[in-house]
Amino acid sequence: MKKLCALLAVVALVAFAAPAFAANPFMDVPMNHWAYDAVGQLAARGIISGYPDGTFKGNQPITRYEMASVTARALAVIDMEKASKQDVEMLKRLVVEFKDELDALGVKVDKIDSRVAVLEENIGGWKFWGELRFDAKFEGEKNLYNDEYTLEGDKEFNLNRFRIWMSKQIDENTKFVARLGTSDSTTKYAPTRWERYYVETKLPYDIKMTAGLWLFDWEGDSGLYIDEDAMFGDYGMKGFWFQKSFGLGDVQAMIGHNDSYSNGADGIFNTADDVNSDYMFYGLRANFNFNEQFRFALNGLMRAYDDLNNRDESVYWADFTFNFNPNIAFKGAYFMEDLDTAYRAGEDSPKAYKAIFDVKQDAFKFTSIWLEYAKFDEGFNVWNANNNGDMYAYDAYGASVLINRNWDETSVLFASLKQQWNDKWATYERYLTADFDTTGVDDATNWTFGVLYYYTPAITFDLAYDKVDWGDSTAAGMRTGDDNIVRLRTHVKF
Return the SS3 of 266.
Answer: coil
Which helix H or strand E contains 75, and what residues bound it?
helix 64-77
Instruction: Read off the pTM.
Output: 0.75
Residue 409 and residue 352: Cα distance in Å, rounded? 10
User: Each residue's pLDDT tens digit in the chain (494 positions)?
Assistant: 555 555 555 555 554 444 444 566 777 777 777 677 777 777 777 777 777 777 777 777 777 777 777 777 776 766 655 666 666 666 677 777 777 776 776 666 666 666 666 666 666 778 899 999 999 999 998 777 766 787 878 888 988 889 999 999 888 899 999 999 986 655 556 678 899 999 999 999 999 999 999 998 999 999 999 987 888 888 889 999 999 998 889 999 999 998 765 544 444 444 555 556 788 999 999 999 999 899 999 999 999 888 766 678 899 999 999 999 999 999 999 999 998 765 566 678 899 999 999 999 999 889 999 999 999 998 888 887 654 445 567 888 888 888 888 778 999 999 999 999 998 999 999 999 999 988 888 999 999 999 999 999 899 999 999 999 989 877 777 888 899 999 999 999 99
Q: What is the pLDDT of residue 186?
A: 54
C-alpha angle 374/375/381, rounded to 5°? 105
Q: What is the pLDDT of residue 43?
A: 76
Residue 115 and residue 129: Cα distance in Å, rounded? 18
> CA 140 from chain center: how many Å?
32
Residues 149 and 485: beta-carbon distance below 8 Å: yes
Residue 336 and residue 347: Cα distance in Å, rounded? 12
**End-to-end CA gap in the chain:** 38
Residue 333 and residue 315: Cα distance in Å, rounded? 12
Q: What is the pLDDT of residue 135?
A: 93
Identify the CA nearest to 239 among candidates 201, 198, 277: 198
Q: E strands within 340-438?
A: 351-359, 368-376, 385-386, 390-391, 410-420, 425-436
Q: What is the pLDDT of residue 32?
A: 72
The identity of residue 150, as a single letter, is T
Q: What is the pLDDT of residue 18?
A: 45
Which residues, in sequence order, are CB contacts of 459 under 8 Å at separation 6+? 490, 491, 492, 493
Which residues, in sequence order, are CB contacts of 365 under 8 Å at separation 6+? none
Identify the CA nearest to 233 among candidates 400, 382, 337, 407: 382
Q: How many residues does the chain have?
A: 494
Residue 281 pairs with which residues in a beta bridge?
A: 256, 303
Q: What is the pLDDT of residue 94?
A: 72
Residues 421 and 373: beta-carbon distance below 8 Å: no
